[in-house]
Amino acid sequence: MVEFEDGRKLYLIYDCTVCYAFRPLFETAKAAWDWYVGGKPDIPEPPNASSTELPVIVTTDVHFEGQERWQYESRASADSMWLTGPRNFEERMDELSRYDGPCDGYYSS
């Protein structure tokens, strides 16, 4: 699920086998699941997705029962129904390291 700052929620599929979220977003969890079990028909990236992206929190269920959840910051376009930012926590950390410098403020000379 992705949650926008204004409280809107859209749904996605997070594949725990390969540890990343698929980019298409859906109005309901059922619509996301139907797309996934239907063979994941190709949905091309909408041309305006990046220009309409907003900050979101991605919440993934690590277990099918929903007992364990993982959240990370990303970006998405509700207008384009597309996850435009990082697809998993590792991509988010890679993105942050490009902007924030080395971890913990340690620099090598």
Amino acid at 78: A
Q: Is-contact 52 77, C-beta < 8 A?
A: yes
Q: Can you give the pTM of this predicted structure?
A: 0.80
Which uninterrupted H or E stretch holds 4? strand 2-4
For 40-86, write each residue's pLDDT tens digit: 999 999 999 999 999 999 988 755 555 567 788 899 999 999 999 99
Spatial separation of the C-alpha atoms in residues 1 and 108, rounded to whole Å:
39
Identify the pLDDT of residue 72.
Answer: 87
Identify the pLDDT of residue 93.
Answer: 81
Closest to 45 measured CA to CA, from 76, 88, 5: 76
Contacts for 85 with CB less than 8 Å, ≥ 6 apart: 53, 56, 73, 74, 75, 76, 92, 95
> Taking 80 as the threshold, does the pLDDT of residue 5 lie above it?
yes
